[in-house]
Amino acid sequence: MTQVCLVGSEDVNLRYELLSRETARNALSTYDLREPFENALRLETVSLGAAVALLNDLNWYLVRFVDAALIKEPSISETEWLSRELAAAVRDDEVAPDETGRFLKVYGVVDAETDDGAESDADGSDEAAAPPAQERPPRLVDPMLLTRTGDVIPEYDLQEVDETLVVRVTEAEFGA
């Protein structure tokens, strides 16, 4: 299955913005929406073409509320994502799948702290009536552009992160 991940702009609540509008809600109604990262939505489609078509259908909303639209196609890479532009170029046979790995945008992934909503007593113990802890999804931070040389990806060094998310981009996106 091909995955799509929409990363919301910092100043919006992506889930609310998409699901509060009838056209976007209808386009997304058949998908199981997940939140892999803070202010992001992930869903699965049947193919790369279906993923690109869905993003085209949602374009009006993407321009307004989304910082990045990513697609993970297992036949290209099991671990790395494609930018929307690169996925469309592969679908349209403008770029061969094996030529997609040179230009990269790498995001840091920072685990969110658990939000338990409980106040601690002076002795450090939680109140007995506190609600159960709710884990928040990790956040994507500070993307950096990198060029892959051979099989090695240069190390992410903008800040301390728990892991990274690698996105393959077009040469034009890399140079922009």
- Per DSSP bridges, beta strands 139-147 and 163-168 are unpaired
**pLDDT digits over 104-113, tens only?**
999 999 998 6
Residue 129 domain flag: no
- DSSP annotation of 41 reads E
Domain that holds residue 157: 2-112+136-175
Residue 17 domain flag: yes
Range 48-75 average pLDDT = 97
Give the tokens for residue 137. Answer: 């999804």
Query: Is the pLDDT assigned to residue 93 strictly greater than 80?
Result: yes
Residue 92 domain flag: yes
Residue 121's pLDDT is: 44
- DSSP annotation of 162 reads S
Query: Is the pLDDT assigned to residue 118 strictly greater than 70?
Result: no
Question: Hey, how many other C-beta atoms are within 10 angstroms of the C-beta on 145?
Answer: 14
Closest CA relative to residue 3, chosen from 85, 87, 61: 87
Query: Is the pLDDT assigned to residue 1 strictly greater than 70?
Result: yes
Measured CA to CA, the distance from residue 74 to residue 140 in angstroms comes to 22
**pLDDT digits over 11-61, tens only?**
999 999 999 999 999 999 999 999 999 999 999 999 999 999 999 999 999
Band (124; pLDDT cuts 50, 70, 90): very low
Query: Is the pLDDT assigned to residue 129 strictly greater than 60?
Result: no
Query: Is the pLDDT assigned to residue 103 strictly greater than 70?
Result: yes
Could you identify the residue written with the tokens 């509060």? 20
Measured CA to CA, the distance from residue 5 to residue 12 in angstroms comes to 16
What's the domain count of the chain?
1
Closest CA relative to residue 9, chosen from 59, 72, 58, 63: 63
